[in-house]
Every structure is written in C-alpha cells, then in structure tokens.
Amino acid sequence: MATQSELTLADYTFPAARLRRRISTPARTPLVLIACGSFSPITFLHLRMFEMAADYARFNTQFEVVGAYLSCVGDAYKKTGLVKAEHRVNMCSLAVAQSSWISMDPWEALHAEYLETAKVLDHFNYEINEVLGGVETGEGRKKCHIALLAGADLIQTMSTPGVWAESDIDYILKNFGAFIVERTGTDIDEALSTLQPWKSNIWVIQQLVQNDISSTKVRLFLRRDMSIRYLVPEPVVQYIEEHELYDDDGAASTGSRSGKGKGAEGGQEAKPAGEAGSSGSGGG
Ligand SMILES: Nc1ncnc2c1ncn2[C@@H]1O[C@H](COP(=O)(O)OP(=O)(O)OP(=O)(O)O)[C@@H](O)[C@H]1O
Ligand SMILES: O=C(O)c1ccc[n+]([C@@H]2O[C@H](COP(=O)([O-])O)[C@@H](O)[C@H]2O)c1
C-alpha cells in the first residue's frame, strides 16, 4: 500500500474494497458511518465508536451498516498536537488494517486547504451513491444513508458560536444526520439543546463501558515517556516510536498552537497525567 506521503489527489482512488455492496435485509436502509477528526493519534476509543454505532443501528434503527470510514483533517486544521497528515493517515490505516468493514479514506487529508465537514460528507455521498450507485438489495439498488459519527464534544461545538457555519449545521443534520457517542465531561442534553430542529436525525449512543481515552492524554503520556500500550493499537505504538512522534511539543507537527476553534494544550501539560482533562471542548 502506498503511504500517504507518496499519495497525491491526482492518483487518489476511493477505497471501496470494504464497503459491502449488497444489503442482507432489503427492507433496511444501508448506512455508511463517517468519523471525521484529528486522530492525532487514533486510539482504541475511536475504533470502538464504530462498533458501538453498528450495534446501536442494528438494535434501534431501520439501518443496516454496510461500511465505515475514518477521515482525518488535513494539515490546515492546525489544531494543537496535530502531527502531519501523512502520519495520521498512516496510523489510521494501520489501526484498521485488520478490520473487515472500517476503511481509512485519505481524501480529506490530502487537501492543503481546510475542508469543512459538510464538504467531506458530500464527497462520501458522491463516491458511494453517485459513482458506485449505492448498494444492491436483491430488489434493485438503494442509495446509502451517509451519517457523521462523532463524540458528544464534537456535537457540542455545533452550539458554540463561530465554530460551524449555521448553514453547514443545517445541511449536515438535515441531509446526513449524526450518530453521537456520549463522552465523559459533556452534558449530552446541553449539547443537543440547540439542535432540536434536527433531533429526528440525531442518534445518541450510550457508552455502556465508559471509556475516556483521548488523543490529548495519549500525547501527554508520550511526552512524559509513559506507556501508551493498550490505549492505542500496537502497530500505532510502533509507528509512533519509529517516527518519534509526540516526543516534544511541535516536533513533526503542523506547527500551530491554535486552529479552527481549538486552543493550546499547554495548560494540561502542567498537570499530573491523572488530572489531564478530556479532549475536545472539554480540553482538547
Ligand atoms: N473518549 C471518547 N468518547 C467519545 N467520543 C470520543 C472520545 N474520544 C474521541 N471521541 C470522538 O472521536 C472523534 C475524533 O476525535 P479526535 O480526533 O478529536 O480525538 P480526541 O481524543 O477528542 O482528540 P484530542 O484529545 O486531540 O482533542 C470526535 O468526534 C470525538 O468526539
Ligand atoms: O465544518 C466545520 O465547520 C467544522 C467545524 C468544527 C469542526 N469540524 C470538524 O470536526 C472534527 C473535529 O475534530 P477534533 O479533532 O478537533 O475534535 C474535524 O473533523 C473538523 O474538521 C468541522
């Protein structure tokens, strides 16, 4: 497989190999889950989100999951702690290498400019429903429902003035909707309070085993020379070691300390590891 550093948009092809092209229950609506984020680095919780969402969809909705994608933000996002896109894409690819249904799509990360999430979801809709023509049901073809998969902190940022364009929130929640995984430190009711007009397109998933891993904590452990084993997949541990990522603040990173609505994590570095805050709006 070409590493992301060798890939350019010119030779990009949509990764469709793990997308199930035939639905097993024709009455159901095929669903593809898209997790957008920094993934700096990817953790087991990010992977676990897909499993939680698939269970939730199976037991509580009329959807049938036919595929799932990780999409890393590009370097222009310039969030604190963001290592270069090529590393994040490579780590995500390693993390899903053994998965039969989760893929890594480098398209967003290959862009030099920042791409809003609405555009990223449009890309998946185009590739899956327009180019590939959706999925076969046995009774004809059906378009897939493309949905955003995110943690509660991300949906909370939709209520934070200035982070998202109002028109994008409407566009995303009307046309795609979101599967939201509860997250320690985020009040889900509060996070959803301003999103009531779209509530029929927002599915909230309880974490039955509370898991508070965050990339921020993983980076903090690495800077303190502490183990991150069993917080992130082993090939990702090895990749981080090989490339000496996150050893110090800024090395191999995109360089900025602030980005689209994101602050520095310097304050957290001063705290003992156990007190490091959660990420996202709570402290990412
Ligand atoms: N522990 C968690 N519980 C629920 N959702 C999570 C958790 N960790 C990450 N997510 C979600 O995963 C997606 C990608 O997150 P992101 O890459 O920002 O990870 P993060 O751990 O929050 O990173 P950072 O600590 O750098 O802010 C987001 O939608 C985020 O809400
Ligand atoms: O599209 C937007 O306007 C927008 C505003 C804020 C955040 N996002 C996306 O939400 C994700 C947030 O990731 P993170 O790591 O900052 O929690 C990332 O994929 C961003 O591109 C997108």
Q: What is the 137 CA–ligand 2 centroid distance (Å)?
A: 33
Establish how many alpha carbons lie within 13 A of residue 42's alpha carbon, considering only the half-sphere containing its beta carbon.
31
Give the position, in ligand 1's atom list, of the atom nearest the Cα of 152. 31
The closest residue, in CA terms, to atom 31 on ligand 1 is 151
| Structure-derived torsion over alpha carbons of residues 22, 104, 77, 278, reported in degrees to the nearest 10 | 100
41: Cβ below 6 Å to ligand 2?
no
pLDDT by position in tens, the chain (length 284): 455 567 899 999 999 999 999 999 999 999 999 999 999 999 999 999 999 999 999 999 999 999 999 999 999 998 999 999 999 999 999 999 999 999 999 999 999 999 999 999 999 999 999 999 999 999 899 999 999 999 999 999 999 999 999 999 999 999 999 999 999 999 999 999 999 999 999 999 999 999 999 999 999 999 999 999 999 999 999 999 999 999 875 544 554 433 343 444 543 332 323 333 333 332 22
- Tokens in use for 124? 């998946």
If you count them, how many residues does the chain have? 284
Q: 77, 259 in Cβ contact below 8 A?
A: yes
Any idea what the Cα angle at residue 26 is, between residues 65 and 52, rounded to 5°? 20
Report pTM: 0.90
What whole-number distance in Å separates Cα of residue 73 and Cα of residue 40?
10
279: Cβ below 6 Å to ligand 1?
yes
Any idea what the Cα angle at residue 99 is, between residues 6 and 34, rounded to 5°? 75
168: Cβ below 6 Å to ligand 2?
yes
pLDDT digits (tens, 9 = 90+) for 86-124: 999 999 999 999 999 999 999 999 999 999 999 999 999
What whole-number distance in Å separates Cα of residue 13 and Cα of residue 243?
26
What whole-number distance in Å separates Cα of residue 124 and Cα of residue 210?
30
Q: Percentage of the chain with pLDDT > 90?
A: 82
Burial grade of 11 (CB within 10 A; 0-12, 13-18, 19 or more):
exposed
186: Cβ below 6 Å to ligand 2?
no
What whole-number distance in Å separates Cα of residue 227 and Cα of residue 9?
36
CA distances from 8 to 41, 178, 212 (A): 22, 29, 35
3-state secondary structure (DSSP) of residue 34? strand
216: Cβ below 6 Å to ligand 1?
yes
ipTM of the shown complex: 0.97
Q: Superfamily assignment of 27-277 in CATH?
A: HUPs (3.40.50.620)
Strands (DSSP E) contained in 171-274 are 178-181, 202-205
Q: 184, 212 in Cβ contact below 8 A?
A: yes
Q: What is the 24 CA–ligand 1 centroid distance (Å)?
A: 31
Cβ neighbours of residue 189 closer than 8 Å, sequence gap 6 or more: none
3-state secondary structure (DSSP) of residue 219? helix
pLDDT digits (tens, 9 = 90+) for 62-80: 999 999 999 999 999 989 9
| DSSP code at position 229 | B
